[in-house]
A and B are shown apart, each in its own frame.
Chain A
Amino acid sequence: DAKTTQPNSMESNEEEPVHLPCNHSTISGTDYIHWYRQLPSQGPEYVIHGLTSNVNNRMASLAIAEDRKSSTLILHRATLRDAAVYYCILVVGGSNYKLTFGKGTLLTVNP
């Protein structure tokens, strides 16, 4: 499975934007970039995913580098409820679909 590298932890202040980086230098042309987050004692929650173009939804934005070797999850205005572990995952589509979680980034949001 293609691997991703994320910082172990990041800190942000409430109401400020947060940029969570992810490196995936071995990404292949058919790998999708998925982001999930997990709050304590809960199952993960889907955040966003993309292939080549930047993506926006109500939760976040995903900025994908032109060479696709890195991406950034953007939370436009962090709230205390955004404190979670964020996982960047490369997903092969089709019948070989599999979500393999790495260690993720623990985001702390300060009031």
Chain B
Amino acid sequence: GAVVSQHPSWVICKSGTSVKIECRSLDFQATTMFWYRQFPKQSLMLMATSNEGSKATYEQGVEKDKFLINHASLTLSTLTVTSAHPEDSSFYICSAREGTVNTEAFFGQGTRLTVV
């Protein structure tokens, strides 16, 4: 199956700093990418959807100025957590799909963010 690579796998940062997470589709062109957040023992929560070259569409309650999403190419999307605080500590997961008809999505391995 298609491969989505997410980097880094884990990161620890100080409160107030910004952290960038990369998501790459390695063997296909991702027309749409999704970013999720998952807290312990909970399900994935969709944060935003991004189409290549367009602004991301954020879900209700997600601060777009805090979680900056860039989808500059068909193989790369980035999520930047700005001015991170301990409550932003979570498991962040990206997903990508190819095409516009109904197809499956492929997920990165996730990034464990810890803000201290």
A103 & B107 in contact (Cβ 8 Å cutoff): no
Q: Are A43 and B108 in contact (CB under 8 A)?
A: yes
Q: Enumerate chain B interface residues (CB-CB to A < 8 A).
A: 1, 4, 6, 32, 34, 36, 43-46, 49, 91, 93-95, 97, 100-102, 104-110, 112
* A16 adjacent to chain B (CB < 8 Å): no
Contact with B along A70-111 (1 / 0, CB 8 A): 000000000000000001000101110111111110000000
Residues from chain B with a CB closer than 8 A to the CB of A87 are 43
Q: Which of B45, B94, B97 contacts A97 (CB 8 A)?
A: B97
Return the chain B residue nearest A31 by Cβ.
B102
Most buried by A among B94, B95, B102: B102
Task: List A contacts of B91 (CB < 8 A).
Answer: 41
Residues of A within 8 A of B107 (CB): 36, 43-46
If over half of B's interface residues share one DSSP class (helix, strand or loop), that class is named, otherwise mixed; here it is strand
A34 within 8 Å of B by Cβ?
yes
A51 CA / B103 CA spacing, docked (Å): 11
Contact across chains for B106 and A94 when beta carbons are under 8 A apart: no
B49 & A98 in contact (Cβ 8 Å cutoff): yes
Chain A to chain B contacts (Cβ below 8 Å), 9 pairs:
A43-B94, A44-B95, A45-B107, A91-B102, A97-B32, A98-B46, A99-B95, A100-B46, A101-B46
Known: A43-B110, A87-B43, A93-B101. 7 other contacts (CB 8 A): A42-B110, A93-B102, A97-B32, A98-B49, A99-B46, A99-B105, A104-B43
CB contacts (< 8 Å) of A102 on chain B: these are 43
Q: Which residue of A lies closest to B107 (CB)?
A: A43
Q: In the complex, are the beta carbons of B32 and A44 less than 8 A apart?
A: no
Q: Closest 5 interchain pairs by CB?
A: A43-B107, A93-B102, A101-B44, A46-B104, A101-B43
A97 surroundings in chain B (CB, below 8 A):
32, 97, 102
Which residue of chain B has its CB nearest to the CB of A93? B102
Complex Cα spacing A45 to B107, Å: 7
The 8 A CB mask of A31-62 against B (1 = contact, 0 = none) is 01010101001111110010100000000000
